[in-house]
Amino acid sequence: MRLVNRTFDELQPGERAEVRRLVTADDLYIYAVSSGNFNPMHLPHADLDGDGTPERVAPGMFVASLISGVLGTQMPGPGTLYRRQVLDFHARAHAGEELLCRVEVLEKHADGTVRLSTEVRRIADDALILSGEAEVQAPVQKFDRDGIEIPGLLVQNHRHFEALLDRAHPLPALPTAVVCPDEANSLGGALLAAKESLITPILIGSAAAIRAAARTIGADLAGIEVIDIEGDVAAAARACALVHEGRAAAVMKGHLHTEDLLRPMLDKEGGLRAGRRLTHVFLMDVPGLPGPLMVTDAAINIAPDLVTKVDICQNAIDLALALGMEPRVGVLSAVETVNPAIQSSIDAALLSKMAERGQITGAPVDGPLAMDNAVDIAAARTKGLKGRVAGRANILVVPGIDAGNMLAKQLAFVSHAESAGLVLGAKVPVILNSRADSVMSRLASCAVAALHHAALGAGRSKGR
């Protein structure tokens, strides 16, 4: 960024400067945190008057701060110090509206101060939001400098998951076999999703242990079916049977090991195989990214071969399409060129070519890509990489479970992402939650399963 000021001697009455600014929901969060003003009127999702529409009112002093931005960066610019500001508020601005902030020099004083008129208008209808006057101490030293940088800010607002929940809520509650929900977190997650009308849970496992967990969290199981069965694997097998009977349209992991949950699903007779390998997808809501990001496979296939990676790609693409995403698959390696000594780079190149030949469908596939040039367009351009995927990938296919697990947890614990976990390739979606998952993660996993199931149903009805 380049900043140039107008010194006291250069300023002339009648000079103007202005800036346009779109007020975003993130602006409201940032202002609330920095100012300590947590008035719900100024938060994106609060509905104080009960009309069903959040007010999303931009705080008056946030709008006024746009004036300070013009004075400090444009006119007079760097070196300017406030002496006085008078403000009159005429209307309210809201998140989603674009504002025009304008200042004009009125007069100069012998003591080095400058008086300016100030106003902010809403661009859509030219409504006057605020007006007033500012008196500032104008700079006397010329400032002209390029390369001014300030740290970026990330708002931990998981709007992508919120959008998925909004899409899933109108769907019928998904009948879900919850396997061994016999401790507080696993049972609480299922009951919370039921409360949100995302699923209709069928609780399978030790009835005594399930009811004890319900007492621990103060939950009432009235009206919820509980199937009493001992043993984790036996409970998982019963969940598969419920799917075959048409009573369950999804399976949800409770308090048991993942391998015990999946073992009955792989059974040739009573399992849930559907032609592809079972693969796992983490759908990540990463603050600062324009859309959700998928990481696959981070939980099931330890060292997948090429054939398995084809299913990993296709399952993730199908899920992305079900969620309304425009999938772009980046196959990760340590390098962005094929190196015969690095198997993941060879696999990535082969997957890319297979997609070109129609062996993987529904999305462009590119690789090998290093992490930076998979998700950062500037890094991709630096390496001379072109195409629809490089720098814009939203499905990341990792070399193996180690890399996938590390990447997903780095995004969660360093980048403050929320994650939704789903096993794909079975006859029904399988929801995988962990005890460390937040409320949003648990709800998002159920929402993703519901949307995926709805898309599968729509595909069947069209004869696909």
Complete domains list, the chain, with CATH: 3-145 (3.10.129.10), 157-274 (3.40.50.10950), 276-425 (3.40.718.10)
pLDDT in tens, 263-284: 999 988 889 988 889 999 999 9
What pLDDT is stored for residue 458 in this prediction?
60
DSSP annotation string for 312-341? HHHHHHHHHHHTT----EEEE-S-SS--TT
Q: 455 in the Ramachandran plot: left (φ > 0), alpha (ψ -120 to 50) or beta?
A: alpha
Long-range (24+ apart) CB contacts under 8 A made by 107-115 are 107/13, 108/8, 108/11, 108/13, 108/138, 112/8, 112/137, 112/138, 112/140, 113/83, 113/137, 113/138, 114/8, 114/11, 114/76, 114/138
What pTM does this model have? 0.74
Q: What average pLDDT score do residues 239-249 get?
A: 95
Check pLDDT > 50 for residue 257.
yes
pLDDT at 157: 67
**Least confident piece of the model among 115-124, 146-155, 304-313, 335-344:** 146-155
Q: Is the pLDDT of residue 138 over 90?
A: yes
**Cβ-contact 30, 104 below 8 angstroms:** no
The tokens for 254 are 């409770």
Pairing mode, strands 279-285 and 81-89: unpaired
Angstrom distances, CA of residue 317 to CA of 281, 324, 345: 10, 11, 20
Q: Which of 44-58, 145-159, 302-316, 371-385 has the highest mean pLDDT?
A: 302-316
207 burial level (CB within 10 Å; 0-12, 13-18, 19+): middle
| pLDDT tier, 317 (very low <50, low <70, confident <90, very high otherwise) | very high
Query: Tokens 């849930």 correspond to what residue?
Result: 272
Would you state the pLDDT for residue 460?
Answer: 53
Average pLDDT over residues 184-195: 91
Given a contact cutoff of 8 angstroms between Cβ atoms, the answer to whether 204 and 180 are in contact is yes
Cβ neighbours around 258 below 10 Å, total: 16
> Which residue type, as a one-letter code, is found at position 63?
V
- Whether the pLDDT of residue 436 is over 80: the answer is no
Q: How does DSSP classify residue 172?
A: P
The DSSP-derived string for 362-376 is SS-EEEEE-HHHHH-
Amino acid residing at 338 = V
Write down the pLDDT at residue 462.
Answer: 54
The dihedral built from the CA positions of residue 28, 30, 35 and 37, taken in this order, carries a sign that is positive
- pLDDT(152) > 80: no
CA distance 325 to 314: 14
Angle at 396 (CA atoms; ends 390, 398), nearest 5 degrees: 120
Is residue 58 pLDDT above 60, yes or no? yes
Question: For 435-453, what is the mean pLDDT?
Answer: 87
What are the residues whose beta carbons fall under 8 Å from the beta carbon of 268, sequence distance 6 or more?
none
Mean pLDDT in residue range 361-367: 95
User: Which residue type, as a one-letter code, is found at position 229?
Assistant: I
pLDDT tier at 90 (50, 70, 90 boundaries)?
very high
**pLDDT score, position 156:** 64
Q: Please compute the mean of the pLDDT values over residues 106-111 and round it to a whole number.
A: 95
Please tell me what DSSP assigns to residue 387: S
Contact 207, 237 (CB under 8 A): no
**Least confident residue range of 46-55, 115-124, 215-224, 358-367:** 46-55
Q: Is 49 exposed, middle or buried (0-12, 13-18, 19+ CB in 10 A)?
A: exposed
pLDDT bracket for residue 464 (50, 70, 90): very low
For residue 2, what pLDDT is reported?
84
* 76 has a pLDDT exceeding 60: yes
